Amino acid sequence: MPELAEVQNFVNSINANFLGLTVNNIKFHRENLRYPFDLEQLNNVFAKGSSFKKVFREGKQLVIETTQGAVNISLGMSGAFKAIENNSKKIEKHQHVSIYFSNGSGLAYIDPRRFGFWKIRDAKMDQGNAICDPLDERALNVVFQDSSITVKNRSIKEMLMDQKIIGGIGNIYALEALFLARISPFRSCSSIGQKEWKILANQIPLMLEKAIAFGGSSIASYRSFSGNKGNFQELHQVYGREGQKCLRSKCSGLIARLPQGGRSSWYCPNCQK
Ligand SMILES: [Zn+2]
């Protein structure tokens, strides 16, 4: 599933390659993904003569703002963007949207499992944007000092993955961050000390910056814009490593895997308290 680092990679690639280009036309090759496409409004946002003004990430969603409006795009389980040729008649399998530009380049949206969506951006979404961005250490510190969150009995991992609190942390990055902060994913929020919250707020952005630099984690079907697999998974300290030695120096623990909230949690029982 594309997580924050993968989405940020697509944002960076689209900004680098398509900003300011004039749209020739957009084609939707089916009627729906997770939801039906609102064709009238989408065709308007990407109308002939419009151009890409700004592309940015909001949690795990990607926002494309054109001179005509904006859309929020979720990549769902398997969405990806890819550069295409303007004059190629062939549509790749699972290619659901194609945008063609007047300079001959093109951008395709591919999504084998079709859990993604393209939604017209609501003007309301621009206001307040209260959800914390996990790349922002200061914003994380504010969240981690909010007693309505920190006194809760639910697990720290579940809280980190709550998209209503922090936008964009999924299973992999929650577990990797908790390892770096030496906190067990099973601890309740109310048991975390001030110092630990500080370390966590510091480690999350550092870890994500690294993941972005490495092109994300290539889990299952994920491919980056250039078609390469991301290689952050080579840097995973705990995710997918059950039974292997803990990578923290001087720790003799073995990575364990336990079910938690319907998913797996990997951690080192020896150095994550
Ligand atoms: Zn360890």
pLDDT, one tens digit per residue, over 33-73 is 999 999 999 999 999 999 999 999 988 899 999 999 999 99
H helix and E strand count, the chain: 7, 10
The environment of the single-atom ion ligand 1, i.e. residues with CB closer than 5 A, is 246, 248, 251, 253, 268, 270-271
The DSSP call for residue 91 is P
Q: Do 2 and 59 touch, CB atoms closer than 8 A? A: no
Spatial distance between the Cα atoms of 63 and 129, rounded to a whole number of angstroms: 13
Q: How far is the CA of 244 from the centre of ligand 1 (A)?
A: 10
Band (220; pLDDT cuts 50, 70, 90): very low
The DSSP call for residue 75 is -
Residue 159: pLDDT above 90? yes
Q: How far is the CA of 264 from the centre of ligand 1 (A)?
A: 18
Q: How far is the CA of 254 from the centre of ligand 1 (A)?
A: 7
Residue 229: pLDDT above 70? no
pLDDT of 223 reads 59
- Which residues does residue 70 pair with via DSSP β-bridges, in sequence order? 65
Band (153; pLDDT cuts 50, 70, 90): very high
Share of residues in the chain with pLDDT > 70 (%): 92
Residue 174: pLDDT above 60? yes
Band (213; pLDDT cuts 50, 70, 90): confident
Least confident of 119-128, 149-158, 177-186, 208-217: 119-128
- 117 or 128, which is more confident: 117
The DSSP call for residue 113 is S
Q: What is the pLDDT of residues 77-120, one digit of tens each?
A: 899 999 998 877 789 999 999 999 999 999 999 999 999 999 99
Residue 127: pLDDT above 60? no
In the three-class reduction of DSSP (H, G, I as helix; E, B as strand; rest coil), residue 51 is classed as: strand
Q: How far is the CA of 191 from the centre of ligand 1 (A)?
A: 20
Q: Which domains does the chain have, with CATH numbers?
A: 4-126 (3.20.190.10), 137-267 (1.10.8.50)
Half-sphere exposure of 128 (CA within 13 A, CB side): 5
In the three-class reduction of DSSP (H, G, I as helix; E, B as strand; rest coil), residue 201 is classed as: helix
Beta strands 69-74 and 117-120 are antiparallel
Report residue 5 as tokens.
């680092």
The DSSP call for residue 168 is S
- Which amino acid, one-letter code, is at 227? G
Band (122; pLDDT cuts 50, 70, 90): confident
- Work out the average pLDDT over 135-139: 95
- 82 or 231, which is more confident: 82
Q: How far is the CA of 92 from the centre of ligand 1 (A)?
A: 45
Q: How far is the CA of 135 from the centre of ligand 1 (A)?
A: 25
- Which residues does residue 101 pair with via DSSP β-bridges, in sequence order? 23
The DSSP call for residue 235 is G
In the three-class reduction of DSSP (H, G, I as helix; E, B as strand; rest coil), residue 101 is classed as: strand
Q: Do 137 and 123 touch, CB atoms closer than 8 A? A: no
The residue assigned the tokens 């720290």 is: 156
Spatial distance between the Cα atoms of 13 and 249, rounded to a whole number of angstroms: 36
In the three-class reduction of DSSP (H, G, I as helix; E, B as strand; rest coil), residue 87 is classed as: coil
- Work out the average pLDDT over 154-178: 93
Residue 257: pLDDT above 80? yes
- Which residues does residue 97 pair with via DSSP β-bridges, in sequence order? 28, 109
In the three-class reduction of DSSP (H, G, I as helix; E, B as strand; rest coil), residue 212 is classed as: helix
Q: Do 219 and 233 touch, CB atoms closer than 8 A? A: yes
Which residues are marked as active site? 2-3, 60, 263
pLDDT of 129 reads 55
Q: How far is the CA of 257 from the centre of ligand 1 (A)?
A: 13
Residue 217: pLDDT above 70? no
- Which amino acid, one-letter code, is at 75? L
The residue assigned the tokens 């990997």 is: 266
